[in-house]
């Protein structure tokens, strides 16, 4: 019989290993770009929030955005991409926490709204405050549709994969 310390150690190793694999998948998703820094990097983060827990999911998603920003050459500047990575981490954390209490349609809808229109607006206003060209309402109207569609795809696909994996007992 394993001691409590051995159980905790084994669980930590599982979390670190699973998180590492999902970060690697985020790196692959970062290469599948829809527009600029909009990519499939956050799907592993949303999945991690469901499969491992909200904290791991937020960490994977935040790193996933930074990987996309790196492979895109930080088009919105490093500070704005750091803000976006923090937003991604927070949104995915909220997604994971809410998924334990509410049904999937409500949770996915909230995450899509947060990661689509709300993050787009915050980023556009932050870019304007930083004095970046192509910011404010121009940035918002240009990015709102592709970012919301990509968010929906990342969120819904991660939920479907999670449900498939847990149904199969994997």
**What pLDDT is recorded for position 5?**
54
Whose CA is closest to 116, among 151, 84, 90? 151
Domain residue ranges of the chain, discontinuous segments joined by + = 4-167
The predicted structure's pLDDT at residue 143: 92
Q: Which CATH class is domain 4-167?
A: mainly alpha
- Which pLDDT belongs to residue 85? 95
- Say how far apart CA 123 and CA 117 lie, in whole Å: 10
Separation between Cα atoms, residue 117 and residue 161, nearest integer Å: 25
Predicted local distance difference test score (pLDDT) of residue 38: 87
CA–CA gap between residue 110 and residue 106 (Å, rounded): 6
Task: Return the SS3 of 32.
Answer: coil
pLDDT in tens, the chain (170 residues): 666 555 556 678 889 999 999 999 999 999 998 887 788 999 999 999 999 999 999 999 999 999 999 999 998 899 999 999 999 999 999 999 999 999 999 999 999 999 999 999 999 999 999 999 889 999 999 999 999 999 999 999 999 999 999 886 55
């Amino acid at each position: 019989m394993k001691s409590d310390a051995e159980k905790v150690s084994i669980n930590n190793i599982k979390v670190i290993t699973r998180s590492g694999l999902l970060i690697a998948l985020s790196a692959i998703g970062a290469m599948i770009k829809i527009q600029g820094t909009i990519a499939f990097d956050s799907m592993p983060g949303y999945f991690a929030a469901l499969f491992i827990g909200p904290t791991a999911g937020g960490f994977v998603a935040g790193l996933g955005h930074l990987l996309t920003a790196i492979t895109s050459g930080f088009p919105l500047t490093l500070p704005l991409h750091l803000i976006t990575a923090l937003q991604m981490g927070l949104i995915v954390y909220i997604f994971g926490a809410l998924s334990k209490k509410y049904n999937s349609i409500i949770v996915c809808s909230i995450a899509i709204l947060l990661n689509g229109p709300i993050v787009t607006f915050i980023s556009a206003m932050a870019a304007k405050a930083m004095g970046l060209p192509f910011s404010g309402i121009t940035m918002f109207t240009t990015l709102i549709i592709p970012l919301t569609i990509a968010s929906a795809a990342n969120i819904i696909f991660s939920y479907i994969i999670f449900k498939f994996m847990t149904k199969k007992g994997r």
